Amino acid sequence: MARSCAITGKSTQIGGRYSNRVRATQFNPTGKVRRKANLQKRRIYVPELKKTIIVDISVKGLKTIKKNGAYAALKKAGAI
């Protein structure tokens, strides 16, 4: 299974590289690139469950946990 954020669902995206030469020639020989999400492996303590959970989570997901609380955010996302 591909790595993705437990809260936001972010994962890799495929996009094109862009060269400065394309402005002059209208030809882009650079190909595709896989852009990875900013995922961190974190141990998060959930006081309602009295246990620690290890999750792959994006930085935006960490901000969501800080705002709403670990239990509420993980329950809404379906990670618990």
pLDDT at 15: 82
Residues of the chain with pLDDT under 50: none
> At 49, phi and psi to the nearest 5?
-95, -15
pLDDT at 32: 80
**What domains are there in the chain, each with its CATH number?**
13-77 (2.30.170.40)
Q: How far is 24 from 79, CA to CA, in rounded Å?
A: 49
Task: Write the Ramachandran bin of 3: left for phi over 0, alpha for psi from -120 to 50, otherwise beta.
Answer: beta
pLDDT at 1: 55
pLDDT at 26: 62
pTM of the shown model: 0.73
Helix (H) / strand (E) containing 25: helix 22-25
Instruction: State whether the Cα torsion 43-64-3-28 is positive or negative.
Output: negative
